Structure 1
Amino acid sequence: MPSIVGPIKINSVGGGVVNFGDAFYLSPKSTSKTNAGSGALNTGDFINTNSGINSTNPFDPDISDQNMTGNA
Structure 2
Amino acid sequence: MPAIVGAVKVNSIGSSSVFNIGDVFMITPNSTAKTFSGAGSFNTGDGLRIVNNASSTNTQDNDVVDQPIVDLA
Q: TM-score, normalised by structure 1?
A: 0.47
Q: TM-score, normalised by structure 2?
A: 0.47
Structure with more relative contact order (C-alpha pairs < 8 Å, separation 6 or more): 1
